[in-house]
Each structure stands twice: as structure tokens, then as C-alpha cells.
Amino acid sequence: MRNTRFDRVPTFRTICALSCSDPLGRTHRSDQAQAPEYILVTTNLRGQLRFITSIARRLGALGALTKGQRDTGSQGLMSERDNLEGEYGTAAINQIILELHIGSSVAGLTMAEFERKLGLRLTDKEGNLTRNSFPPVRQFLNRLLALKVADQNALFDEFQDRLDEQVQAAIDAGVYNQGVEEYRADRIEVVSPPRTVYVEPSSKAETYYVHLRAWHRRTPRSFHAVADGRMGGKKREVTGFVREIATGAVFAVATARARTDDAGSVIAQVRLIGPYSERFEEARNLSSAKAFAILSSSEAETLWLEQARATKELQGYDLNLICGVLLPVWDRLDAGGRVFRVIDETGAQYLGRLIHPGRVRSTLAKLGADLNTAWTPEEAIDAVLTDVRLDLVNGWKLKRARVNGEYRIEVVGFQPSDIKRLADLGCRREIVQYATRFFVPTADASVMTALLRVAPVAEDDADAAEAA
């Protein structure tokens, strides 16, 4: 039977004095059959979550200073997401202000009402936004507490929704930094044992590379639950169903908030929800017959069930970790990498930076090592989609190209005499702006396999392209 413990939100002083963390140890014992569930109790005033973010921020600093790990101080009660005062909180506030400025209503407020109720002055005499007047997250959260309860809760919910979307987008892009994370999977096996790739000259401390494979059990979403808009405890409005032409995947189309690009333009987008995954897509792309096909509910249900049956229950993912001493080589690793603690099926532990599969060769080259293996089709697909250009031995080149709002793998450098050969290999031929272009399908690796069999990757050129 699982124990449930209710705790009021502890103060910073409480946790520092261990009056909270010590009782937690009394209920969360080693080798117990089932870990307890902790529920933090707070008020239903949404603005008071401002106090939690202050505690989470200070606990992160405490953990980093004392034990070199930000989540040490929170004793697992709070995560990095509880700290609203980071870059994603700032981006969420900026998005709210930009939406208000173009005339949209947020939480029932206009731009003038937003400025008046929060005591802000965001525009000049001509009505233009002044960027240096945008409030920092701390000031925004403090001003929320001055609103009436209904306005406070509604505006905070709008802020939280945009914050969650910013965080999810960063997670999907692999750039969300949560400090040291525990990697959890149903099974983790060693593909390539640890080997030294760098030795620090003065201390002789070693940096090593290990290749693991993690297996996750996949449970498909219920079609009827998605069609009714019941997903992850949130109610979403589903407006239709589509099939992606390039992959054949079926998706439910749900409403989503517009996003603001770097230029300040507001771009309408939708949320595409499939049996196993979901992502954001620009709304205008759905009208392209080359990208998506509109489905009826019955057609979507049939394809949904077929896709769920055809997908293996266990899905494998490659984990490429750079472990050991990292500080001397930190600047040689790609920015935005996440740090994981991984325990394999034998009980061995690894703590290191996760490297994207498409960047393994370039990362090892920067450390003075290599893989000593030929390029696999899956590796080539991952590499090109992360913007690594691959030169093939016959002069063809594989590069990432953005077409109709999606990234694809394009073959360039071919001669007119190669057109039939590329078509025979399975490359998709398209006429874009009166020019013939060939793209490699990525739904499976069969076409890439055939392509690399005819023209393998030129290793020297690939290494140079990756290191560039």
C-alpha cells in the first residue's frame, strides 16, 4: 500500500534547518517496496505561487554551492519548473504583452486594463511598445497579488500555460537544462563499453565515452479520449484530424496558443497529437496538400488503431554519454546538453553529458578520438536533421532543408544524369520553384540504407563538416 504524505509548502529557512528534510527521511526509507507520494499543500490563490518560485530559486543556489547539484537543497520536493523566474518565465510574460499589444484579450484584459491593474507603463505616447519597460518576472508576480482573486487566478493561469509551452518546446528541442537528471527507462543496456577519449595532461584524469540503449514501454493514447479533448488532465479543443504525407502518421488537431518569433511577429499554430507523440505545427502548413491530408473521424480512428498495432511495445533510444572529468572539455561539447545519471541493467552508474546521436562523431573528433565504424543510416538521418552536412564519396551531399515549415533531408550536388538513379533509390522528387529537388524520406531508414550502399559517407569530409 502506498503511503501518502501531505506537507505544507516549507519555507527556505525550514529546509535549510532540515526540519523538513529529516521527517522526509523517516517516511521515505531505503529498499521500501513502494515509494511514498508527497503532496504539497498551498492556498488556492494562484498568485501565492510566487512564494514557491522564490524558495525554488534560492534552494537551487544552495544546492549548487554546497554539493554542486541544484536539486540537492529541495530534497526532491521542488523541481526546476517551480522556479518561474528563469528565461522561460520571461518569455511567457513577453508573449502575453505582445499578444495584448496586437489587440488580443488575455484573461479578459485589454492592454489598457493590463497596464492599469498591474501599475505598468508599457507603451509610449504613440502607442509603441517600449522593450525596456517590460516587467521582470519577480515584479510581474508581485503585482499579481494586488489583483482581485478572479483576475489574479485567470491571469496567472494564462502565464502558466505559456510558461509550460515554452518549457515543453525547450524539452522537445533538447535544450532544457534541469541540472542533473535521473534517466528512467524499463531497461538500459550497454551497446559499447566505456572507453577513454581524453586525458587531462596535468592531473591525468580521464574523460570517457559510453554508448547505451534505453528501452521504454509505449502505451498508445486512447483515440476516443483524444477526440473528446481529454489529455493529460487538461481539456483541449480538437478541431479535426490529419495524416502527415511524408510519414503517414495520423494526428488529432487541437487548438494552441499563437507563438511570437524573434522578430515580434505572432504566428498561429496548432497542436498535433498522435497515438504516442505530440508537437506544435504552424497552422498555415495544414492547408498544404503536399504536407497534410484532412481525415474524417472514422478514417482517423482506423489509421490510429493501425498505427498503434504496428508500433512495437518497447521503443529503443540511443544514449551517448561523455562521462568522467568534464570541466577541461566542457567548451568542446555542444551547448545546451543535458546532464544525466544513468543506471544500466547490471547496476553500473554513469554520470555525464548527453550527446545527440547526430553529433557523436563531431564531439569525439573535438576530443581527439573517433568511432572507428562506418556511418549507419539511422546515424546519418540524425546527423543531417541536426544540421550536419554529409559529403558522399561520389560528390553528392546530404543537407538539412526547410520546406513547407518542416526540416527535410535534401540531396544536392547531383548531375542531370543522376536523376533516374536517385529516383530508383527511393528519393522523393519534387519541383520547387521550377527546380528539381530530391529528398530522402525519414519515416524509415530503407531509402537512406540504399543511398549509403551506393555512395557511403566520405569520412574526412564528414569530419570536417561536423567540426566546422
Domain boundary among 78, 95, 122: 78
Q: Burial level of 68, CB count in 10 A (0-12/13-18/19+)?
A: exposed
Whether 466 is in a domain gets the answer: no
Whether 4 is in a domain gets the answer: no
pLDDT score of 259: 75
Q: Please give the sequence-ordered ranges of beta strands (E in DSSP) within 3-112, or none if there are none.
A: 4-8, 37-41
CB atoms within 10 A of CB 33: 6
pLDDT score of 17: 45
pLDDT score of 210: 96
Three-state secondary structure string covering 380-432: HHHHHHCCCCEEECCCCEEEEEEECCEEEEEEECCCHHHHHHHHHCCCEEEEE
Shared domain for 240 and 208, answered yes or no, is no
pLDDT score of 38: 61
Q: How many domains does the chain contain in total?
A: 5
pLDDT score of 257: 78
**Closest C-alpha among 192, 195, 169 to residue 357:** 192
Shared domain for 198 and 338, answered yes or no, is yes
Shared domain for 115 and 231, answered yes or no, is no
CA distance 58 to 305: 48
What is the pairing mode between strands 339-343 and 180-182? parallel
pLDDT score of 67: 43
Shared domain for 202 and 338, answered yes or no, is yes
Whether 273 is in a domain gets the answer: yes
Shared domain for 212 and 329, answered yes or no, is yes
Whether 463 is in a domain gets the answer: no
Shared domain for 232 and 295, answered yes or no, is yes
Shared domain for 415 and 400, answered yes or no, is yes
Rounded to the nearest 10 degrees, the angle between the axes of helix 137-144 and helix 149-173 is 150
Shared domain for 261 and 396, answered yes or no, is no
Residue by residue, pLDDT tens for the chain (468 residues) are 667 766 665 554 554 544 444 455 555 555 666 666 666 667 777 777 766 666 655 555 544 444 444 444 444 445 555 667 778 888 889 889 988 888 888 888 999 999 999 999 898 888 888 878 899 988 998 888 888 999 998 999 899 888 888 887 777 666 666 666 788 899 999 999 999 999 999 999 999 999 999 999 888 999 999 998 887 667 788 999 999 987 889 999 998 877 776 666 778 889 999 998 888 888 888 888 878 999 999 999 999 999 999 888 888 889 999 999 998 998 888 776 788 889 999 989 999 999 988 888 888 988 988 887 888 898 899 889 888 899 999 999 999 998 766 788 999 999 989 999 999 999 988 887 788 899 998 877 899 999 999 999 886 544 444 444
Domain range for 52: 21-78
pLDDT score of 53: 62
Domain boundary among 78, 96, 118: 78
Task: Give the position of cell 496586437.
Answer: 102
Whether 462 is in a domain gets the answer: no
Whether 346 is in a domain gets the answer: yes
Shared domain for 206 and 318, answered yes or no, is yes
Shared domain for 204 and 319, answered yes or no, is yes
Shared domain for 212 and 140, answered yes or no, is no
DSSP assignment string, 83-116: -TTSHHHHHHHHHHHHHHHTT--BTTB-HHHHHH
Shared domain for 427 and 286, answered yes or no, is no
